[in-house]
């Protein structure tokens, strides 16, 4: 079970100041690039040496569209990360 106290998601997860919030779950086979996609989108970072994503539950990114503040809570499917 993913924890809401994720080190990566915690920072903005308690910020309630938004117009919309979407929770998005990224699913897919191991090693297709789910973790890399999330880190690039949320942090604009890429680390080619990721061995495992165990412990990373979700990241939060806030975007603005039509003068609305939209908070995206993007989750990695935890069950598929045991080998990826």
- Which residues lie near ligand GDP (CB under 6 A)? 28, 30-36, 48, 50, 53, 84
Q: Which is nearer to ligand GDP, 13 or 80 (CB)?
A: 80
Should residue 6 be labelled a site residue for Mg ion when binding is judged by CB under 5 A?
Answer: no
Pattern 38-77, binding to Mg ion, x per CB under 5 A? ---------------x------------------------
- Quick one: tokens of 17? 């100041």
Which residue, chain included where needed, has tokens 């412990």? 55
82 binds, among ligand GDP, Mg ion, none (CB under 5 to 8 A by kind): none
Q: What is the distance in angstroms between the CA of the first residue and the CA of the last residue of the chain?
A: 17
Q: Residue 9: exposed, middle, or buried by beta-carbon count in 10 A (0-12, 13-18, 19+)?
A: buried
């Amino acid at each position: 079970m993913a924890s809401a106290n994720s080190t990566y998601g915690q920072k903005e997860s308690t910020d309630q100041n938004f117009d919309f919030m979407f929770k998005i779950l990224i699913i897919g086979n191991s090693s297709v690039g789910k973790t890399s996609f999330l880190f690039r989108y949320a942090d604009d970072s890429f680390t080619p040496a990721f061995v495992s994503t165990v412990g990373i539950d979700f990241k939060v990114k806030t975007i603005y569209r039509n003068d609305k503040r939209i908070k995206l809570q993007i989750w990695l499917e935890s069950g598929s990360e045991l080998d990826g």
